[in-house]
Amino acid sequence: MVEFIFFLTHNDITVPNALEVFEEVRDTNLKYVGFKDIGLPRKTLDTLHTNIKKAGMTSVLEVVTATQQDNLRSIQMGIDLGVDYLIGGTYVAESLPFLKDQDITYCPYIGQVIDHPCLLRGTIAEITEDAKRVEAMGVGGINLLAYRYDGDVETLIQSVNTAVEIPIIVAGSINSLNRIQKMLALDVWGFTIGSAVFDKKFVQGSHRDQVHAILHAIQQ
């Protein structure tokens, strides 16, 4: 079964009312809830993470900061919070020593990641080779910005998914039920949705209604 990770984020920034939105969706059978490394003060992130874990869910922190220093600071923040997954970030070799002996699944970006919100660039061959490179380094999975790519998205996903044995998380701009169906058909491990929930792209109604619609789509 393909996993859905609900991100309490909009335009790659954790929303200011993340605590309230989480309370709205906490009893929707969500298994994975995530947030970004920017948007909220550390004290609020502590509370948010505690609430996610108390609800019995798996916590996911996505690193979207650009510089090496900020990436490593975010990696350390994830360790300090005690998150289950650290996804994103581009400084793989520099990040791995921080994560040694930590019970955290690390799934970095691959390819050339630019701008904010993040975009993916490079050829499909280059991105696929990068996937194999980071797999060989011992990461737990890959965070693939497939719908932020300016080329053939389905071919990109198929190429990366075939080239590696570790899980693929497709992140960014999954904003329709059709794209969710593509995730199921392409047999990725999981996908993230944040902005599209807040923009009410799936059904008319509350955040809770959006999450229910997504869960229903992957369970059919």
Q: What separation in angstroms does the CA of 38 have from each of 23, 73, 102, 113?
A: 20, 11, 22, 17
pLDDT in tens, 27-78: 999 999 999 989 999 999 999 999 999 999 999 999 998 899 999 999 999 9
Q: How confident is the model at residue 1 (pLDDT cuts 50, 70, 90)?
A: confident
pLDDT in tens, 104-120: 999 999 999 999 889 99
Return the DSSP state at 206. Answer: -
Is the sign of the CA dihedral 195, 199, 205, 210 positive or negative? negative
pLDDT in tens, 160-191: 999 999 999 999 899 999 999 999 999 999 99
Q: What pTM does this model have? A: 0.97
193 contact partners, CB below 8 Å, separation of at least 6? 4, 5, 6, 7, 174, 175, 214
| Residue extents of the structural domains in the chain | 3-219
The CATH number for 3-219, chosen from 3.20.20.70, 1.10.3720.10, 3.50.50.60, 3.40.190.10, is: 3.20.20.70
Q: How confident is the model at residue 215 (pLDDT cuts 50, 70, 90)?
A: very high
With a cut of 80, say whether residue 220 has pLDDT above it.
no
